[in-house]
Structure 1
Amino acid sequence: MKATDPVFFTAQIRAMEQQAMQLPKPPQLMEKAGLAAAQAVRDRLLKNPNHNVLVLAGPGNNGGDAFVVARYLQEWGNAVTVVFAAERDRVPADAKQALQAWLDCGGDICNDLLDGERSWDVVIDGLFGIGLDQSHHRSIEGQYRGWIETVNRMAAPIVALDIPSGLGSDDGCIYGIAIRAAITVTFIGLKPGLFTNFGPECCGEIVLRDLDIHLSSPPEPQAWLLNDALVQTLLPLPRSANSHKGSFGNVAILGGSTGMVGAALLAGRAALHLGAGRVYAGLLAENAPPVDFSQPELMLRAPSELFALKPLNCLIVGPGLGQSAQARSLLAMALDSDCVLVLDADALNLIAQHPDLAKNLCQRKASAILTPHPAEAARLLNTDSITVQNNRMNTALQIAQHFNCYVVLKGAGSICCFPDGKRYLNTSGNPALSTAGTGDVLAGIIGALIAQGANPDHALLLAVYLHGAAADRWVQKYQGMLGMAASEVITEARISLNQWIYQHHGDQHNRSQ
């Protein structure tokens, strides 16, 4: 497995800028950034000249980038209007030079934006970029807020420079208000806020331009993108013709208390359809059915019987588990086992409530994968979901290191983290997943991949990306995000995984038939 798309915190980006300026021939970063962004705008939106372009320039270096963009777009035959309201004497030196260059080439500036003044073909956002970060807790108000509200209402596509103004580059939080961009041209390196929390909602297409910065000792990435390129290195091999059900492992699900039997069955069906050789379910409900009539391949057992299964490659604990004394006792047995665990839902809530269970989790030798949503993550760390969402990167790291486990913090831009602290930002998925049961399906997919021989780290990454890609496939098929059921994710995930394996191992796939 080799990740190729590193992600850096804002402080690291600034440090890289400073290192670049110490080189024998320091690059003209603002000029390069502005030119790169202007080229991206031209190539995607303004292939022909004579367009009306609105440029919003802020008081810092992001505004300087915007002046460079304005200069090039005007040079290429477009009508460019720059709106700039900062005090010129307080503008940083490089941005001041960019402003002067804009004026010297015949450009002009307006100090306010009037809604409906004219029709624009493209809007350039150069208000703040990474200048708004969590350490300053700045919130956009006043005139700048009004400008953002105005351009967000326009039909014209917005191109953000570096990161949409108002969006936190490290955390993906919105500080007061944020630009809703169609394209974000980000510079030097990728930032976490582009991909998690409100990032996917605000950034649109993300275009990276590294500005040809080549450092002898670059900083260590804080995360990596979980994307199609990485997933291609995680795919299982095609199945051998000389294989049988025992070749693909055994998965068991512990859950399904009264009123929540469906959660355990969803996890079981996901494990079955994603390739596990045998799938068992131990249902806690007193009136649990003896068979899943819609999926009779699932083998239903009394919960305690699951621990006698040999071999058992993965035990999923939590879907519909409940928080009864029986549930707690069964979870304790699972934590004491030497089986790879996937812990979800009420398994996480019980661990948060009972220090003895938390201690057992921390001390177990076999791997455990935790799959919390923000509220469950908050309970595990004794905090609240707002704090979790405002610090998603650190939250995932804290859980992984505190419990010595693998974790996926679910949500927009799910974050996977390993016990060694390595983090991955998922780039698949959409709001169609916001429906009951999709988390149970994810747990089942993880279990299926582990049963078939994947290491916990590979299984987690592939399952999380596949889960999101299945929802993306469904949305593309039905042209909308309303009404997807969790069981449909299973079908789309199975189709996607089979197609990926065939496309990646085509010749070998054919030889195995």
Structure 2
Amino acid sequence: MLQRIHAHAGPPAWPLHGLARTREIEAAALQVVPPFTLMQRAGDAVARLARALAPHTRRAWVAVGPGNNGGDGLVAAIALRRTGIETFVTLAGEPSRLRGDAKQAHALALAADLQWVEQPPLGFGRAGDIALDALLGIGASRAPEGALAALIDRLNALACPVLAIDVPSGLDADTGQPHGDACVTATHTLSLLTLKPGLFTGQGRDRCGEVWLETLGVDIDPGSVDASLGAAPPAAGWQRAHAQHKGSFGDLVVIGGAPGMAGAALLAARAGHAAGAGRTYLSWLDETGPALDGEHPELMIRRALWKDDLLREATVVCGCGGGAAVRAVLPRVIGQAARLVLDADALNAIAADTGLRQLLIARGRGGRPAVLTPHPLEAARLLGRDTASVQADRLRAAQALADELRAVVLLKGSGSVIAAPGGAPIINPTGNAALATAGTGDVLAGWLGGRWSTSHAASIDDARQAASAAAWQHGQAADLSPTTPLRASDLIAALHAQLRRG
């Protein structure tokens, strides 16, 4: 059954399977169904979706590669032609290279009324046409070259819908990064059998367009996942009992705002308060910081609050605009905070200080939760790598950092990754480049702290759930916003309105 993968859908979360596990699932399925069955189902599903996406189309072009992905495309071409659509097929490579089911699909295609062409016909690509990318599947491991690269360029130049089969050709199914310069940018992608992580992180979201799934009638063990796609958090609204009071929703302490960087801490504190924390405290790292937030006087500003025993019961967000000054307060913050969110300069300090790193690890081993919210450069510093290596495999980088530091890691970026020690990561499906403005990361850290504060929960699993929920809500606020770029202050208002709507 064809299913559209909607970023704003509620639970349960969609399971994601990488290349190796998908191959295992496919191999097991092939043992119990007749030969060619899965390819026939795949091609038929592609044709059904193509007709649904372009219901009035009279012409289709199918770019076919030399593997099973090409075989799926050939079966789809046959099915499209049967419905009266004029169907053009371009085969990249020699037919003699086709093997197994793909070879059978080619034989059937030769007997069908298809038009075999080297390029789509003149004028193809106008409104009403549709193209199918069946050049490379999930098994591609190197940059497309020669005829394959030329056909990818041709697909990308079309103005009509482009439906990629399984993954856009040239995209790594596990990482969401192109293998080289040539990579299809599809308007829709039909993932077959399983959903792959690379469709939702890195460049995957830009390359795949709208994602669909067809499981081909195969039952998949729900426990055998490599990752999951985050879903809308349950009870995302503003449900409060009448008898509750501000003490019911916890204390949030924001520590940051070194000289010249007050804005970051203010944004985090305002976001945490808007998220529902019962009492929100702001403690400047700048001794000359203002004693009152004129726009939000409900924020309680306290000097040197990191020395107070309040931290033992509070949720603490530390590092937003922290500068070099944050380093001196981190030992006590890491040691005392009941629930801890570390962002920005706090992460840079830990990356540069082995002692702080060991304190954080010891905290995690003691079962006391912390969430780290790095962007790729901060993650690279913590891992001792460069940013490119983090972005090359975002899931593995986030998981390595979570396992090493014994903390939950929310690696920001396109398809933010939430990883916890020893678990399968979550990829957040919401958000867009409207968030690519200064201060939105501070808002995320504060929002996460505020939402977590209301739960009073303090386990690693609670931290993971809080991080996933905050990332989802943060992204959804951008998806629903009519404004691009989205200013950080406006983002707080949008998040608060989202809670009010439930």
Using the size of structure 2 for normalisation, the TM-score is 0.92
Within 5 Å, give how 1:104-503 maps onto structure 2. 104-112=111-119, 116=123, 119=126, 121-133=129-141, 138-176=142-180, 177-214=182-219, 220-228=224-232, 231=233, 233=234, 235=236, 238-304=239-305, 307-309=308-310, 312-324=313-325, 327-364=326-363, 365=366, 366-453=368-455, 455-474=462-481, 477-478=482-483, 481=484, 483-500=485-502
Q: Could you tell me which of 85, 98, 101 is aligned with 1:91?
A: 98
1:3–1:225: 8 Å Cα contact kept in structure 2? no
2:312–2:337: 8 Å Cα contact kept in structure 1? no
What's the counterpart of residue 6 of structure 2? none
How big is the shift at 1:115? 7.1
Alpha-carbon distance in 2 for matches of 1:7, 1:345: 30
What's the counterpart of residue 509 of structure 1? none
1:361–1:403: 8 Å Cα contact kept in structure 2? yes
How big is the shift at 1:15? 1.2
Alpha-carbon distance in 2 for matches of 1:140, 1:293: 57
1:155 is matched by which residue type in structure 2?
A
**SS of residue in 2 equivalent to 1:185:** strand
In structure 2, the CA distance between the partners of 1:249 and 1:118, relative to structure 1 (3 Å rule), is closer
Alpha-carbon distance in 2 for matches of 1:118, 1:374: 38
CA deviations on 1:174-197 (whole Å, 9 max, x unpaired) are: 122211111101101100100000
CA deviations on 1:84-123 (whole Å, 9 max, x unpaired) are: 1311111122111111111112223223457756747111
Alpha-carbon distance in 1 for matches of 2:369, 2:275: 21
Alpha-carbon distance in 2 for matches of 1:140, 1:114: 23
How big is the shift at 1:450? 1.4
In structure 2, the CA distance between the partners of 1:236 and 1:457, relative to structure 1 (3 Å rule), is farther
Alpha-carbon distance in 2 for matches of 1:384, 1:140: 26
What's the counterpart of residue 30 of structure 1? 39
RMSD of aligned alpha carbons: 1.9
Alpha-carbon distance in 1 for matches of 2:371, 2:310: 20
Alpha-carbon distance in 1 for matches of 2:321, 2:122: 52
1:82–1:110: 8 Å Cα contact kept in structure 2? yes
Alpha-carbon distance in 2 for matches of 1:391, 1:68: 33
What's the counterpart of residue 6 of structure 1? 15
1:234–1:462: 8 Å Cα contact kept in structure 2? no
How big is the shift at 1:219? 6.7
1:297 is matched by which residue type in structure 2?
E
In structure 2, the CA distance between the partners of 1:26 and 1:116, relative to structure 1 (3 Å rule), is closer
User: In the comparison of the two structures, how many residue pairs are matched?
Assistant: 483
1:399–1:407: 8 Å Cα contact kept in structure 2? yes
1:282–1:306: 8 Å Cα contact kept in structure 2? no
Deviates more, 1:51-60 or 1:299-308: 299-308
**Identical residues among aligned pairs (%):** 38
Alpha-carbon distance in 1 for matches of 2:348, 2:70: 47
How big is the shift at 1:497? 1.9
1:349–1:379: 8 Å Cα contact kept in structure 2? yes
How big is the shift at 1:307? 2.8
1:185 is matched by which residue type in structure 2?
L
Q: Could you tell me which of 48, 60, 79 is aligned with 1:72?
A: 79
